[in-house]
Chains A and B, each alone.
Chain A
Amino acid sequence: MSASVGTTATPSSRVLPAKWRPVFGSWLTAYKRTWRGSIFGRFLSPLMFLLSLGLGLGRLVDKSTGGVDGVPYLQFVVPGILAAQSMWAAMGESTYPVMGAIRWNMKYHAMLATPIGIDDVLLGHLLYVMMQVTGATAIFIGVAALFGSFSSWWVLLCLPITVLTGMAFAVPVFAFSAKQEGPDNFNILFRFIMTPLFLFSGIFFPVSQLPDLMRPIAWVMPLWHGVQANRSLALGSPDFAAVAGHTAYLLVVIVIGAWLARRAFIARLVV
């Protein structure tokens, strides 16, 4: 053993101004173990959607009705699916990993025994989730572009909008996950909230086709806003006022979610 181990030297540990960085780094270190499989899935998912909905269903729709609102079905549906896959990616990153870090592997507890604080733990993890969502979205846009899903360069603005859409789910779900004692409720979340949202948020058909009573539900949830903004941009003649409105709505959801998540983290981790 070296004599210096554990001796009381000068307190060498500085308190960093941005303590979320080592938290982010810790999640990134874990990701390095699984990134290959993860990236493969990120490519596979858009391919499957494009083949089945774009080429399969799309050809059928275009042949019988000439597209939706005069737009080929592929170009109508892909911006919506882009928003939805961001939601799915965000959910995957903010359910089990968050509960696990509290209940199973106690990752958060390990961090909190050091100079790292609750806000650093939350911010570092959220930024890591954002990195994942950004990666998934960029890959999706790239693959879909190869299939001719977009008719305008404005689609590049879909990247930040789509990331915001994902985070509008991730951040409130952090609050939800922090409160869970086990994974049971995640199934309810996936089956009874995510799946209906996927089906009824104007991705496959305009919300105007929905019964009057169901439309407000779509309007309240973040996914519809992401879908609308994406579609407006990707089709090439964006309604910027509408896009700005949808973006503002997503931001509001993120801010409220952050407040809830912080409260839930404190309640679970500071006892």
Chain B
Amino acid sequence: MTPAFSADDSVGCVTHPDPDFLLHATGLTKTFGSFTAVDGIDFAVERGESFGFLGPNGAGKSSTMKMVGCVSPVSCGELRVFGQDPATHGPQIRARLGVVPQKDTLDEELSVEENLWIYGRYFGLSRREVRVRTSELLDFAQLTDRAKSTVEPLSGGMKRRLTIARSLISRPEILLLDEPTTGLDPQARHVLWDRLFRLKRSGVTLVLTTHYMDEAEQLCDRLVVMDHGKIVAHGSPRSLITEYSTREVLELRFDTDDHAQHGEAIAGIGERVEVLPDRLLVYTEDGDAAAAEVHQRGVRPMSALVRRSTLEDVFLHLTGRTLVD
């Protein structure tokens, strides 16, 4: 394989990753021609942690995951996985990783169990070992009764669970999940979250990307918020909300085409007001008090909803945009 950069190219990048981390990146950069997908990001993941990359489509999350998964060469900066360099130890690192790609790469014409068998063989496991682990994993993925079925007719949630089961066949130390629940219905997402939570409890380090703030809140101990290839904030879900948002949010909807015209009427209520195309967000410590004040001013919204602040609000505050358009 051709290394993507020579030693000379990396001059100017910060290059001192700490070997104590399972995963450590400094100045990590990915460019495609003149386009910079990942723009010099730093992060570190400890063993047993559940770490997330939160950001909209095109933020550079998947490019980062592919570099960590040692399938995409690093353009600049330094990356260490298990203290090793993907450029020189790709196969050794990949032997200890489990990968759940954004798009399922299952063999749809093969049966559920055959998919696990052939994948286990890629890791050099014996046929007998692969069969033992397959029955364990089918159990874990709640697919035992579909073991002989071909993959093609399975539901999206089942395929996703099979992909996760497959990624676990080598008993990886880090599980990389690129948008694990995108496109799944709410019930399938909850089943999947439950499975991932069990993995986390059993000691697997999870590294995942998502553009769902509820997923990040559910699964991540720590996360970074990415936008345009850069990390714009990092911390635990709670600390990010405390730092970048208020305790509560009052959402106001009006029966109108342009919500901006109502912004002035409620200016000054709460800490700040965010105007979105379809609603107004009032950031405040006390949502009910803010709602009362709106009412006092004689403003009559179509609906008023008080909720707790979420990572979506953090993202909105940091970038001026919502996560999922």
A interface, CB within 8 angstroms of B: 1-9, 11-16, 19, 21-23, 25-26, 29-30, 33, 105-107, 109-118, 266, 269-271
Contacts and interface: CB of A to CB of B under 8 A. Distances in A.
Contacts of B170: 12-13, 114
Given A5-B140, A15-B124, A113 B171 contact: no
Interface residues of B, number: 50
Contacts of B117: 29
B110 A6 contact: no
Contacts of A4: 136, 171
Judged by DSSP, the binding face of A is loop
B203 interface: yes
B1 A114 contact: no
B109 A270 contact: no
Contact of A29 (B98, B105, B118, B199): B118
B108 A105 contact: yes
B103 to A, nearest CB: 7
B42 interface: no
Contact of A113 (B32, B71, B124, B202): B71
B249 interface: no
Contacts of B106: 105, 110
Contacts of B99: 113
B140 A117 contact: no
Interface in B180-217: 198-199, 202-204
A26 B121 contact: yes
B94 A115 contact: yes
Given A1-B198, A22-B118, A33-B110, A270 B139 contact: no
A2 to B, nearest CB: 5
A13 B95 contact: yes
Contacts of A266: 1-2
A30 to B, nearest CB: 6
B136 A2 contact: yes
A16 B109 CA distance: 27
A105 B202 CA distance: 32
B217 to A, nearest CB: 22
Contact of A7 (B105, B119, B122, B203): B203
Contacts of B308: none
Contacts of B322: none
Which of A12, A19, A21: most chain B CB closer than 10 A?
Answer: A12
Given A2-B136, A30-B109, A115 B1 contact: no
Given A6-B168, A106-B101, 19 more contacts: A3-B202, A5-B137, A6-B140, A6-B175, A13-B96, A14-B124, A15-B91, A23-B122, A30-B109, A33-B110, A105-B106, A113-B69, A115-B123, A115-B124, A116-B122, A266-B2, A269-B71, A270-B73, A271-B72
